[in-house]
Amino acid sequence: MSEVEAVQIIAESLKQQGVDYVFGIIGIPVIELSMAFQAAGLKYIGMRNEQAACYAAQAIGYLTGKPGVCLVVSGPGLLHVTGGMANAQVNCWPLIVIGGATNQDHEGIGGFQECPQVELSRPYCKYAARPPTAALIPLHVEKAVRYATYGRPGVAYLDFPGNILQSKAQEERIYKSLAHPAAPLAYPPHDDVIKAAQLLRQAKRPLVIVGKGAAYAHAENTLRHLIENTNLPFLPTPMGKGVVSDTAAQCVSSARTLALQKADVVLLLGARLNWILHFGRAPRYDKNVKFIQVDICPEELHNSVVASVAIQSDIRPFVEQLFEQMNAVNFRFGYEQDWWKQLAAKCKQNRDTVQQMSLNTSTPLNYYAVFHHLRELLPKDTIIVSEGANTMDIGRSMLLNEQPRHRLDAGTFGTMGVGPGFAVAAALYCRDFAPGKRVLCVEGDSAFGFSGMEIETMVRYKLPVTIVIVNNNGIYGGFDKDTFEAIRSEGDLTQITPPSALGVQVRYEEMMKMFGMQGYFCTEIAQLQSAIKAANQLTDRPTIINVAISPSSDRKPQSFNWLTESKL
Mean pLDDT of 266-284: 96
H-helix or E-strand spanning residue 88: helix 76-91
pLDDT band at 486 (very low <50, low <70, confident <90, very high): confident
Residue 17: the pLDDT is 97
Helix (H, G, I), strand (E, B) or coil at 164: helix
Helix (H, G, I), strand (E, B) or coil at 505: coil
H-helix or E-strand spanning residue 252: none
Residue 556 reports pLDDT greater than 90: no
Third-level CATH fold of 3-173: Rossmann fold (3.40.50)
- Give the whole-angstrom CA distance, residue 343 versus residue 335: 10
Non-local (6+) Cβ contacts of 510 within 8 A are 519
* Residue-wise burial string across 189-198, b where 16 or more C-beta atoms lie within 10 A, e elsewhere: eeebbebbbe
Return the biggest CA–CA distance within the chain.
79
- Beta strand spans in 297-365 (E): 309-312
Residue 532: the pLDDT is 98
Within 10 angstroms of residue 361's Cβ, the number of other Cβ atoms is 15
Residue 483: the pLDDT is 85
Helix residue ranges, H only, 150-205: 162-165, 190-202
Residue 65 reports pLDDT greater than 80: yes
Where in the chain are all domains bearing CATH 3.40.50.1220? 190-344
| Pairing status of strand 127-129 against strand 168-170 | unpaired
Residue 566: the pLDDT is 62
- Give the whole-angstrom CA distance, residue 408 versus residue 62: 10
- Give the whole-angstrom CA distance, residue 286 versus residue 306: 14
Q: What is the pLDDT of residues 97-146, one digit of tens each?
A: 999 999 999 999 999 999 999 999 999 999 999 999 999 999 999 999 99
H-helix or E-strand spanning residue 387: strand 383-387
Mean pLDDT of 411-425: 96
| Residue predicted with more confidence, 94 or 490 | 94
Non-local (6+) Cβ contacts of 420 within 8 A are 52, 55, 441, 443, 448, 451, 452, 454, 455, 457, 458, 467
* Residue-wise burial string across 227-255, b where 16 or more C-beta atoms lie within 10 A, e elsewhere: beebbbbbbbbbbbbbbbbbeeebbbbbb
Residue 563 reports pLDDT greater than 80: no
Q: What is the pLDDT of residues 203-255, one digit of tens each?
A: 999 999 999 999 999 999 999 999 999 999 999 999 999 999 999 999 999 99
- Give the whole-angstrom CA distance, residue 278 versus residue 285: 8
For residue 313, count CB atoms less than 10 angstroms from its CB and return exposed for 0-12, middle for 13-18, buried for 19 or more: buried
Helix (H, G, I), strand (E, B) or coil at 437: coil
Residue 545: the pLDDT is 98
Q: Which CATH class is domain 360-548?
A: alpha beta
Q: What is the pLDDT of residues 436-456, one digit of tens each?
A: 999 999 999 999 999 999 999
Nearest Cα to Cα of residue 382 among 439, 332, 325, 453: 439
Nearest Cα to Cα of residue 248 among 259, 239, 235: 235
Peptide bond into 283 cis (omega under 30): yes
Where in the chain are all domains bearing CATH 3.40.50.970? 3-173, 360-548
Residue 568: the pLDDT is 55
Residue 252: the pLDDT is 98
- Give the whole-angstrom CA distance, residue 532 versus residue 208: 35
Domain 190-344 annotated CATH 3.40.50.1220: yes
Percent of the chain with pLDDT over 70: 98
Angle at 399 between CA 396 and CA 405, to 5 degrees: 75
Residue 489: the pLDDT is 80
Mean pLDDT of 464-488: 90
Residue 52 amino acid letter: A
Task: Quote the radius of gyration of the chain (alpha carbons, Å).
Answer: 25
- Beta strand spans in 146-299 (E): 155-161, 168-170, 206-210, 234-236, 265-269, 290-295
Residue 559: the pLDDT is 66
- Give the whole-angstrom CA distance, residue 395 versus residue 225: 27
DSSP 9-76: HHHHHHHHTT--EEEE---TTSHHHHHHHHHTTPEEEE-SSHHHHHHHHHHHHHHHSS-EEEEE-STH
Q: What is the pLDDT of residues 317-345, one digit of tens each?
A: 999 999 999 999 899 999 999 999 999 99
Residue 562: the pLDDT is 67
The model carries a pTM of 0.96
Residue 261 reports pLDDT greater than 80: yes
Q: What is the pLDDT of residues 3-60, one digit of tens each?
A: 999 999 999 999 999 999 999 999 999 999 999 999 999 999 999 999 999 999 999 9
- Give the whole-angstrom CA distance, residue 245 versus residue 262: 23
